[in-house]
């Protein structure tokens, strides 16, 4: 059960409605995902989160699928159920099939193990080229 009352996706609050409308238009979706309805309990924070996400998730040097794959890798590493569900759905919508999903998660699992081993053995960085 959410810890705040989710804001109705048909709210007439102009500040919130402006963000909700932009979310629907930008993501081409009919309904507002629950996370945005929860964030709307603090409209300024809703605006800050959406503005940031919209700017970062637009295609750039990386395409959108790669960005959603990173989002899934981060969410799986943090064990965030809501985000794992939404980013898995997003990668599938963008064409990643079960075999591709399996590859993403294989790499996620592998480095969650290797990270802990490198920490546990207190391994020092190999000599790196000067900062670029």
**Residue 90 φ/ψ region, left for φ over 0, alpha for ψ in the -120 to 50 degree band, beta for the rest:** alpha
Q: Kindly state the smallest distance separating residue 100's Cβ from a copy of itself, in Å.
A: 4
Is the CB of 25 or the CB of 120 nearer to a copy of itself? 120
Query: Which candidate, 35, 38, 32, places its Cα nearest to that of 5?
Result: 38
What is the distance between the alpha carbons of residues 59 and 104, in angstroms, rounded to a whole number?
20
Least Å distance between CB 3 and a copy of itself?
4
- Our CB check for a copy of itself shows the closer of 21 and 33 to be 33
CB of 85 to a copy of itself, least distance (A): 4
Nearest by Cα to 43 from 23, 17, 24 = 17
Residue 25 sits at the vertex; the CA angle it makes with 50 and 9, to the nearest 5 degrees, is 70
Cα 7 to Cα 16: distance, rounded to the nearest angstrom: 9
Nearer to a copy of itself, 21 or 102 (CB): 102
Considering all CA atoms of the chain, what is the largest pairwise distance in Å, rounded to the nearest integer? 58
Q: Smaller CB distance to a copy of itself: residue 17 or 41?
A: 41
């Amino acid at each position: 059960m959410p810890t705040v009352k989710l804001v109705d996706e048909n709210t007439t609050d102009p500040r919130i409605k402006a963000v909700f409308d932009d979310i629907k238009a930008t993501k081409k979706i009919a309904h507002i995902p629950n996370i945005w309805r929860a964030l709307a309990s603090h409209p300024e924070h809703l605006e800050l989160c959406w503005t940031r996400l919209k700017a970062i998730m637009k295609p750039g040097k990386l395409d959108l699928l790669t960005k959603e794959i990173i989002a899934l890798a981060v969410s799986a590493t943090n064990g965030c159920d809501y985000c794992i569900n939404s980013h898995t759905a997003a990668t599938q919508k963008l064409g990643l099939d079960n075999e591709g999903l399996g590859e993403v998660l294989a790499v996620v699992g592998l480095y969650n193990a290797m990270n802990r081993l490198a920490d546990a053995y207190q391994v020092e960085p190999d000599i790196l080229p000067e900062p670029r």
